[in-house]
Structure 1
Amino acid sequence: MATAAPTAAGFQDCRNAWVATLEQLAEADPRIVAVVNDSVGSSKLNSFQKKFPDRLINVGIAEQVMVGVGAGLANGGRIPFVSAASCFLTGRALEQVKADIAYSSFNVKLVGQSSGIAYGELGATHHSIEDFAWLRPLTNLTIIVPADAWETAEAVKWAARHEGPVYLRLSRMPVPDLNIPDRQFRPGHAEIVHEGSDLAIIACGTTVHLAASAADLLKAEGIQARVLNFSTINPLDEAALHAAAATGAIVTVEEASIRGGLGGAVAEFTSANKPVPVERVGFPGFLPTGSTDWLFQEYGLSPEGIAAAAHRALARKA
């Protein structure tokens, strides 16, 4: 696999790719409907509503009802995409997600918008950094965190085809397109972004391009870091994790809590199968008030911060 790094241009809001793809799918499949919680604008579904006014249901600020309506629509043969800010979708409606969607194995596509800390200064009530920890135990719920616009579009297409519950975690923060030749979207399979054998950096979502930039910094020091895009959090690509552990050290990077998220999942796997040093880059818990950019820098979600975590992992390498 060729080395890949983010392109200089091409920063895009992945929500544009999500709604453009949903509209294309809806044109071809009348079963596709959208359900929102008074979040038509923030879900970027204004044009969808105009094109398909009878196929968008706005329940108002009632997230539990929203998920329940999605379950009912799926039970009636529709393919509902239930879209809301991820902090409210997964927090307020967690019981319904668990019982009505996952336990019942209904064909509902949950779309968590503006995930992570995209809301910045609005603080902990609007941050969605616990969603991985809440949803990972729901074993039949596929969790996908696209890294760029291309992957977002492919994830939406796959979710529409897949029979079963899915959680798509989207951000409102623009990200660059990853320059990876001959890409294929394969849920449950990690994507090699950067080759390397000295250690592995495992990232997802908005942090993948930062991990690739960190690998470039490390390469200048003579350190070859493998970068993996783990866009599927559940199920995990265990073969890729075995290979990552074989490098002798791992860094995980996520716009989420390091407790129970991607870092927690990797630590669980390595401790049980191949113990190696794991440095987790993410958020330790509730965050202070600050802009998204400042919070990223403050908690090491930058190429320099990730490279520093790589040095810590290498220092612990046996």
Structure 2
Amino acid sequence: MRREFIATLCELAASDRRIMLLTADLGFSVVEPFAQAYPDRFVNVGVAEQNMIGVATGLAEAGFLPFCYSIATFATLRPYEFIRNGPVAHELPVRIVGVGGGFDYGTGGPTHHSLEDIAVMRALPGMMVVAPIDGPQTAAALECLWSAPSPIYFRLGKDSPRVAISGDHFEVARAQTLRQGTDALLISTGAMVAETIRAAEILADAGTQAMVLSVPCLAPAPLADLRAALADARAVLTVEAHQQAGGLGSLVAEVLAEARLARPFRRLAASQLGLGRGGSAAWLLEQNGLTADAIAAAAQTLLS
């Protein structure tokens, strides 16, 4: 995802000199194509994420379109007050690019596991929150939103697999149906969509047909699409590499409650927080019950 993002940003920057890229001394081996093509529009502020947002706020107020690139935890949590009081309060087009949502930086340990970012960014009024499925959808989202007037948070996977059926399509406040089914509704976001599709295939082999709904745009939320899918669902399972509170599952619970829809419902999310564990991303997903097999088993339990 990150390489597709930088490649697309380079293409857009060729025709719009307002685009700038900032990094807080991270992203090297990825950001070089932009830095080499547009050295006068690339700024490394050093290990100073708060300052990065402050600089970006000033640039946006001066008419630029700044993109702030860092690991997701550092891009959102360290400078959170600066994001709130800068681009959010002043409605400025600062783009925060958080790489490695969930457990993608697994061996870095809990400091690098981004499990709160959707919750905190979704809480900011006017902040768009975008979590593409894969590289092609990342490029499509950037092409759709690069000049939008609002602040935006892009949650990108580090090395996410391509999901062929996602295509290269993205729309603001829309969800995507990636698989049809009438027995259960599986709702996921970002890089976890690939694992959720594999879970649906496992369920199909066992005779259970699950619908898979992807939510690449969490704010503004795809309320109409969610209501339509939930209205026809027998049981609903949300899947995300994020803590349970405040993320996709909370969004779906809000829609269910406000629409007064009573359905068997479970939020499948990161369950082992703050335990000081590091390891491969695959191992951490397994430990947290977020593999395709675990998702399929959770869906079967919910149905029964």
TM range (shorter): over 0.9
The reply on whether 1:213 has 2:202 as its aligned counterpart is no
- 1:82-121 matches, within 5 Å, as 82-121=68-107
Check the 8 A contact 1:148/1:178 in 2, yes or no. Answer: no
Question: Does residue 1:26 correspond to 2:17, yes or no?
Answer: no
Q: Aligned partners of 1:26 and 1:176: how far apart in 2?
A: 25
- The residue aligned with 1:191 is 176
**Structure 1 outlier segments of 4+, above 6 Å:** none
Q: Any idea what SS the aligned residue of 2:266 has?
A: strand
Aligned partners of 1:253, 1:175: CA distance in 2, in Å?
A: 17
CA displacement, residues 153-182 of structure 1 (integer Å, 9 cap, x when unaligned): 01111221312111000121231233256x
The residue identity in structure 2 corresponding to 1:286 is G
Partner of 1:177: 163
Letter in 1 for 2:17: P
Counterpart contact for 1:141–1:164, Cα < 8 Å: yes
SS of the aligned residue for 2:22 comes to: strand
1: CA distance, partners of 2:160 / 2:194? 11
TM-score by length of 2: 0.95
Contact 1:244 1:250 in 2 (8 A): no
Cα distance between partner residues in 2 of 1:83 and 1:26: 15
How far is the alpha carbon of 1:35 from its aligned partner? 1.0
| 2:137–2:166 CA contact under 8 A, matched in 1 | no
Question: What residue is the counterpart of 1:9 in the other structure?
Answer: none
Unmatched 5+ residue regions in structure 1? Answer: 1-13
Q: Does 1:63 align with 2:17?
A: no
Q: Which of 249, 271, 274 matches 1:286? A: 274
SS of the residue corresponding to residue 68 of structure 2 reads: strand
**RMSD, aligned α-carbons:** 1.4
The structure whose RCO (Cα within 8 Å, separation 6+) is larger is: 1
Q: Which moved more, 1:170-179 or 1:95-104?
A: 170-179
2:300 is matched with 311
* Aligned equivalent of 2:28: 41
TM-score normalised by structure 1 residue count: 0.91
Matched, 1:140 2:140: no
Rounded Cα–Cα distance in structure 2 between residues aligned with 1:232 and 1:129: 17
Residue 209 of structure 2 corresponds to: 224
State the match for 2:262 in structure 1: 275
Residues in 2 aligned to 1:254 and 1:173: alpha-carbon distance in whole angstroms: 16
What is the rounded CA distance, in whole Å, between the counterparts of 1:180 and 1:70 in structure 2? 32
Partners of 2:65 and 2:147 within 8 A in 1: no
Conserved in 1, the CA contact under 8 Å of 2:23 and 2:68? yes
Structure-1 residue corresponding to 2:112: 126
Q: 1:242 aligns with which of 211, 217, 227?
A: 227
Question: What runs of 5+ residues in structure 2 fail to find an aligned partner?
Answer: none
Q: How far did residue 221 of structure 1 move?
A: 2.1
Aligned to 2:284: 295
How many residues matched?
Answer: 300
Query: Quick one: distance in 2 between partners of 1:139 and 1:212?
Result: 32
For residue 185 of structure 2, what is the aligned residue in structure 1? 200
Equivalent AA in structure 2 for residue 97 of structure 1: I
Amino-acid identity (%): 35
